[in-house]
Structure 1
Amino acid sequence: MPDNAQLLLLDRDQAAALLQPDEVLAAVRESFRLHASGDGRIFPLVREALPAGVFGIKSGGVMTQDLLGMKAAGFWPGNRQYGADGHQATIMLFDPASGRPQCLIDGNAVTTARTAAAGALGLLALARPDSERLCVFGTGVQGAAHVDYALRVLPGLRRVRYLTSDGRRDPQFEARFAQRCDIAPGAGADAAVAASDIVITATTGRGALFSAQAVRAGTHLNCVGSDTRGKRELPEGMLALAHTWVDDLAQALSIGELQWAPQTPVQELGALLAADVPARHGIAADAITLFDMTGLALQDLSVARMLQRRALATGTGTHIAWPW
């Protein structure tokens, strides 16, 4: 057996520095294609409550591309009292021929970027191309990332209204986007939704954020926060009013918004992206569209592989001996 094997380590700052939005978008789009074609596999999800938080494992692989790996991630709210992120994620890539680990990556920035990129791809496929007004629930890491990517892929967006859990202004959030759009707090949940072309929900999923009646014809919704059994962001009856897409049907039924309305007719977004058709192809202009996002292991792995390649090309990261 070889005795010179090494394990590549990428810490938080190294991983974040290597993440380029265009490359992340390309990697996430590829992950959707692999999922739709069946070339990529996602393995059964682990998602369990612990005394201090929630722990999960998403894993999968693409054997034809020598890609195999997992992300161990979850949410530990107690971290916030120390000024640390409650969300924690670690990604590991393996050699599928031997099972040996190849790369260990801090997964927080990867999770944020790949989720926002998936949301952006949903916007490109399902939102009206003339959309100008966006409403976002949540101004945390995910909310900010989704607004960033939305502004990148839909240059026609002119106005952003945001809502926080406590109703207060978020000056830091406003400052981040002040040079790119008209940004201000929303004047109440229903009013902000009714005045928007796009609605993004990126909260902790404690309950319905607005009323279904507030959603106007032609609106698109990206729903991010429901990623565990018992979480929800949408009001009862919302899915019945919308044309709904998911990233993975089984996951959406288990941990997404679909857990609350399992009989809802849905399609997987990967099939739509693989068809490479114009935005809202075959969808009536006044139809409400919705993307229920639970996150694919293939998204994490495709982005992680991109980071591994960039790290090796640029000499980034730490190599440690990992002998057999």
Structure 2
Amino acid sequence: MYIVPESLARDLVSQEAATEAIETVFAAMAREEARNFPVVRETLGHADAVYGFKSGFDRAGKVLGLKSGGYWPGNADRGLTNHQSTNVLFDPDTGRPYALVGGNHLTAVRTAAASAVSIRHLARPDARVLGLIGAGHQSGFQLKAAAAQRRFEKVLCWNIDPDLLSTPAKAAEDIGLPFEAVDRDMLGAEADVILTITSCFEPLLMKHQVKPGTHIACMGTDTIGKQEVDPALVAAATVFTDEVAQATVLGECQHAFAAGLLAAEAITPLGRVITGAHPGRTDIDEITLFDGTGVGLQDLAVADVAVRLAVAQGATLTVDM
């Protein structure tokens, strides 16, 4: 079995490589060549932790496996990342496990890759202002991945605590983009693309705050009850997602769907745009919204990239099974 530890996965898998892998697997999902299996997510009743796993099979890429892990809120006090995950890949021909891959960094880049792919296919070509709601660990990954998709001229950011903007501010500085902390009204009025990446359970961005032609990528809602934007905004947008069944249950769409404001049939898998089966944006004033719920096939796609690069460079650890 190949072992690709966290530190090696971080060094090997670039954001660009992750973005290409996610675009490819979304297309495979749309062609029904890849599918996700039901998600398991449970509270442990220990350490206030939530544990689960996501799994799936990409028949086109011959990638089978699962990501196991969850959220341990006390880890920060131990000098560890609160989100912990590990990917296990299996040989689809025999069922034998062949790779164990650290998943913390890969989770961050695959999440940013999904929003980047949505920007690539749905944002207006003339988008110049990037807006960011949220300033946690994921915000830096999101900002850099998004910036590679359009010729943005500046970044506007709002966070619940304005004193905690150092992560996205540093990411903007790294790539040479002016960064400005603003209120939500200004962000919505100026931003051509808005990324939401929080852990909130209430709407932070309202319909009246968003201008025509905006593309929104909602990346923080991945659990029943979480919420980042106004359900009326979701209902008014042309909505895309990674997986429709998941979006209506635990994604940003869940609230508009439950209120009867949005039908499942009105939500389009982003992979259909990638393959050309759906036109995507059809009007310059159209508001498009991507509900990035996070699916197991994303994790498997980037884990496979990590293994392939590690093997090619002779950098893997190996153990007999």
Q: TM-score under structure 1 normalisation?
A: 0.91
Are 1:243 and 2:238 an aligned pair? yes
C-alpha distance in 2, partners of 1:55/1:27?
26
Change (3 A) 1:260 1:119: same
Amino acid at match of 1:131: A
C-alpha distance in 2, partners of 1:201/1:28?
19
Match of 1:17 in 2: 11
Mean alpha-carbon deviation: is it higher for 215-224 or for 69-78? 69-78
> Unpaired segments of 5 or more residues in structure 1?
1-6
Identical residues among aligned pairs (%): 34
Which whole-Å deviations, capped at 9, do the CAs of 1:114-170 have from their partners, x for residues lacking one? 11111111001111111111111112221111110111121x101101122312252
Change (3 A) 1:296 1:192: same
Match of 1:39 in 2: 33
C-alpha distance in 2, partners of 1:245/1:306?
25
Match of 1:274 in 2: 275
Change (3 A) 1:69 1:132: same
Amino acid at match of 1:62: D
| 1:228 aligns with one of 199, 202, 223 | 223
The 8 Å contact of residues 272 and 278 in structure 2, kept in 1 or not, is answered as no
Amino acid at match of 1:319: T
The 8 Å contact of residues 139 and 167 in structure 2, kept in 1 or not, is answered as no
Aligned counterparts, 1:145-156, within 5 A: 145-154=141-150, 156=151
C-alpha distance in 2, partners of 1:45/1:172?
30
Which whole-Å deviations, capped at 9, do the CAs of 1:36-61 have from their partners, x for residues lacking one? 01111211111223331222211011
| 1:85 aligns with one of 53, 75, 81 | 81
Amino acid at match of 1:234: V
Aligned counterparts, 1:92-103, within 5 A: 92-103=88-99
Which whole-Å deviations, capped at 9, do the CAs of 1:69-96 have from their partners, x for residues lacking one? 0011322222122232111111000112
Which whole-Å deviations, capped at 9, do the CAs of 1:186-227 have from their partners, x for residues lacking one? 1x1222222211110001123211222101111110000000
Which whole-Å deviations, capped at 9, do the CAs of 1:244-275 have from their partners, x for residues lacking one? 11110111112101111224121111011111
SS in 2 for 1:153: coil
SS in 2 for 1:41: strand
Deviation, 1:276, is: 8.0
Change (3 A) 1:267 1:177: same
Are 1:48 and 2:42 an aligned pair? yes
The 8 Å contact of residues 137 and 167 in structure 2, kept in 1 or not, is answered as no
Amino acid at match of 1:76: W
Number of aligned residues:
312
Mean alpha-carbon deviation: is it higher for 63-72 or for 24-33? 63-72
Are 1:252 and 2:247 an aligned pair? yes
Amino acid at match of 1:163: W
Amino acid at match of 1:307: A
Match of 2:300 in 1: 301
SS in 1 for 2:80: coil
SS in 1 for 2:227: coil
Aligned counterparts, 1:1-324, within 5 A: 7-51=1-45, 52-63=48-59, 65-154=61-150, 156-168=151-163, 170-178=165-173, 179-186=175-182, 188-262=183-257, 263=260, 264=262, 265-275=266-276, 280-281=280-281, 283-322=282-321
SS in 1 for 2:38: coil
SS in 2 for 1:260: helix
Amino acid at match of 1:274: T
C-alpha distance in 2, partners of 1:167/1:100?
49
Amino acid at match of 2:152: L
C-alpha distance in 1, partners of 2:60/2:129?
42
SS in 1 for 2:238: strand
Amino acid at match of 1:266: I
Which whole-Å deviations, capped at 9, do the CAs of 1:261-307 have from their partners, x for residues lacking one? 224121111011111888x54x2111111000011211111211111
Deviation, 1:109, is: 1.0
Mean alpha-carbon deviation: is it higher for 250-259 or for 77-86? 77-86
What do you get for the CA RMSD once the two structures are aligned? 1.7
Change (3 A) 1:99 1:242: same
